[in-house]
């Protein structure tokens, strides 16, 4: 058993100051109190504990290409579809050892920035030739091994990918992604379930890349065969061209088609959903389906701005993800999301509801609870008895934190902090990152992997 005294600990209602907690041998909370129990010795932590951040959308291999697509030819159009060609080149090149080294470095960096769990939207499944590895979950297994090395919790989402677009065959750049039918995807899913058993902090979810990548009626058929309790993830309506192609092929917009043909509920996590009508946003919120927003990636790719206010006004829930990992700071994701909305609305009250006017606390409530749902976890508070002590701990020595009243501290952290103000990250009651230190061998393996890719 371990016992800690934090300078403060954040719950969904606000701060407990000071906070005394005890955890059992597994790292699950036994006590959360503002009063010291004289029967125990508490280790003093000069820091403010926030819930560990949930990264609800990751493509780990894309970390190897950050910063590589910013050389632009002013005479040519450079958009998402041009970026995708560079991504395909990387996807065709990376081998299992490189995948593991890249993911290990990425996951260590996620921990350093305060993420304690990641949903890995994994679609690079096969050998560069397009043929299956003997172990169908070879690359998924490498992602799990990477997570295990650094201690981050992972929800592996093996992705069904079948086509090259609405009514189009897959192209050669997509050959490592493909399962030709539901049976092949089920085999991949089964192998992935076996891989997940190798790490106690790993879980499985299910997903389809997009309606353009799997025949829509096949998506509906697949959902009828899957365990409905598992989180289901899908990219949707990220690009205007995608919406236009759906209208031409289906006679409906992607989210419109899903609302009409699929019984959406709170186990669905729709990634991006950038281009929605007000009707779609409202109906999607009322269906209880969640949206996963990736503001730094969406901005970097020029996707557009999500209809957040309409969605939230109808009771919609959202989480965040780092997607292509152009940024790994959860607070930066929240700030980009908020400021984009402020710029188009000319209002400052993006993150508010009838019963919550504290922007920072509102944002963390959304990020945490919908993010946990994306991983397959349901909780009622940031920290609760019987659940793991997973926390991002802000440094109590930071002057701006020390002069904050309780009601201002959360938003000061969300809007005015950076990673230099982190004391560390805890998972299952143990420090996995403290004072920004990461493993030297992890860094060395990552550097060697990128050098061998020869893409930088």
User: Where exactly are the structural domains of the chain?
Assistant: 2-51+391-427, 53-375
Is the model's pLDDT at 354 over the cut of 80? no
Q: Dump pLDDT digits (tens) for 177-211.
A: 999 999 999 999 999 999 999 999 999 999 999 99
Is the model's pLDDT at 20 over the cut of 80? yes
Beta bridge partners of 232: 206, 268
Contact 389, 28 (CB under 8 A): yes
Look up the CATH architecture of domain 53-375. Alpha-Beta Barrel (3.20)
The closest of 103, 143, 92, 79 to 302, measured between CA atoms, is: 79
Residue 353 is predicted with a pLDDT of 81
Q: Dump pLDDT digits (tens) for 240-268.
A: 999 999 999 999 999 999 999 999 999 99
- What is the CATH code of the structural domain delimited by 2-51+391-427? 2.30.40.10
Beta bridge partners of 121: 157
Residue 138 is predicted with a pLDDT of 98
**Residues 6 or more apart in contact with residue 38 via CB below 8 angstroms:** none
∠ CA 445-451-453, nearest 5°, is 105
Strand pairing class (290-293; 317-320): parallel
What is the arithmetic mean of pLDDT over 379-390? 98
Tokens 């004391």 found at: 423
Verify whether residue 323 is a known catalytic residue.
yes
Taking the C-alpha atoms of residue 299 and residue 274, their distance in angstroms, rounded to an integer, is 11
Three-state DSSP state, 241: helix
Q: Dump pLDDT digits (tens) for 85-143.
A: 899 999 999 999 999 999 999 999 999 999 999 999 999 999 999 999 999 999 999 99
Is the model's pLDDT at 76 over the cut of 90? no
Verify whether residue 346 is a known catalytic residue.
no
| pTM recorded for the entire structure | 0.97
Report CA torsion sign: 137, 140, 142, 144. Answer: negative
Three-state DSSP state, 1: coil
Residue 435 is predicted with a pLDDT of 87
Q: How confident is the model at residue 73 (pLDDT cuts 50, 70, 90)?
A: confident
What is the arithmetic mean of pLDDT over 276-295? 98
Residue 95 is predicted with a pLDDT of 98
Q: How confident is the model at residue 69 (pLDDT cuts 50, 70, 90)?
A: confident
Given the residues 323, 325, 338, 390, select the one marked as catalytic: 323
DSSP string, 48-68: EEEEPEEEEEE-GGGGGGTTT
Contact 391, 425 (CB under 8 A): yes
Taking the C-alpha atoms of residue 446 and residue 456, their distance in angstroms, rounded to an integer, is 13
Residue 436 is predicted with a pLDDT of 87
Taking the C-alpha atoms of residue 254 and residue 247, their distance in angstroms, rounded to an integer, is 8
Given the residues 122, 125, 272, 325, select the one marked as catalytic: 272
Q: Dump pLDDT digits (tens) for 404-456.
A: 999 999 999 999 999 999 999 999 999 999 988 889 999 999 999 999 999 88
């Amino acid at each position: 058993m371990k016992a800690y005294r934090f300078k403060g600990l954040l719950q969904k209602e606000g701060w407990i100051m000071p906070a005394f907690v005890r955890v059992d041998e597994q790292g699950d909370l036994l006590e959360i109190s503002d009063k010291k129990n004289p029967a125990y010795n508490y280790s003093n932590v000069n820091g403010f504990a926030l819930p560990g951040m949930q990264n609800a959308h990751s493509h780990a291999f894309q970390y190897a290409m950050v910063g590589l697509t910013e050389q632009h030819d002013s005479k040519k159009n450079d958009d998402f579809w041009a970026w995708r060609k560079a991504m395909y080149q990387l996807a065709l090149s990376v081998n299992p050892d490189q995948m593991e080294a890249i993911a290990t470095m990425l996951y260590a960096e996620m921990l350093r920035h305060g993420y304690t769990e990641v949903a890995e939207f994994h679609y690079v499944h096969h050998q560069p030739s397009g043929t299956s590895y003997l172990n169908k979950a070879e690359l998924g297994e490498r992602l799990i091994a990477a997570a295990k090395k650094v201690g981050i919790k992972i929800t592996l989402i093996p992705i069904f990918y079948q086509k090259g677009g609405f009514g189009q065959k897959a192209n050669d750049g997509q050959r490592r992604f493909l399962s030709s039918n539901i049976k092949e995807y089920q085999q991949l899913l089964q192998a992935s379930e076996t891989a997940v058993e190798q790490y106690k902090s790993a879980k499985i979810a299910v997903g389809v890349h997009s309606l353009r990548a799997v025949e829509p009626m096949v998506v509906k058929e697949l959902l009828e065969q899957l365990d409905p309790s598992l989180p289901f993830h899908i990219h949707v309506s990220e690009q205007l061209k995608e919406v236009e192609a759906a209208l031409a092929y289906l006679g409906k917009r992607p989210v419109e088609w899903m609302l009409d043909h699929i019984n959406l509920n709170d186990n669905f996590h729709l990634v991006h959903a950038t281009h929605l009508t007000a009707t779609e946003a409202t109906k999607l919120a009322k269906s209880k389906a969640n949206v996963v927003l990736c503001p730094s990636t969406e901005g970097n790719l020029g996707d557009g701005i999500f209809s957040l206010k309409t969605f939230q006004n109808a009771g919609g829930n959202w989480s965040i993800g780092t997607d292509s990992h152009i940024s790994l700071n959860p607070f930066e994701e929240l700030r980009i999301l908020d400021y984009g909305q402020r710029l188009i609305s000319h209002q400052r009250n993006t993150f508010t509801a009838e019963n919550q006017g504290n922007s920072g606390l509102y944002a963390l409530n959304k990020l945490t609870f919908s993010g946990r749902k994306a991983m397959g976890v349901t909780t009622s508070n940031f920290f609760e008895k019987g659940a793991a002590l997973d926390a991002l701990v802000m440094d109590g020595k930071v002057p701006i934190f020390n002069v904050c009243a309780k009601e201002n501290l959360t938003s000061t952290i969300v809007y005015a902090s950076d990673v230099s103000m982190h004391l560390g990250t805890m998972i299952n009651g143990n420090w996995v990152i403290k004072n920004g230190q990461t493993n030297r061998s992890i860094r060395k393996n990552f550097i060697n992997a990128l050098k061998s890719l020869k893409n930088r």
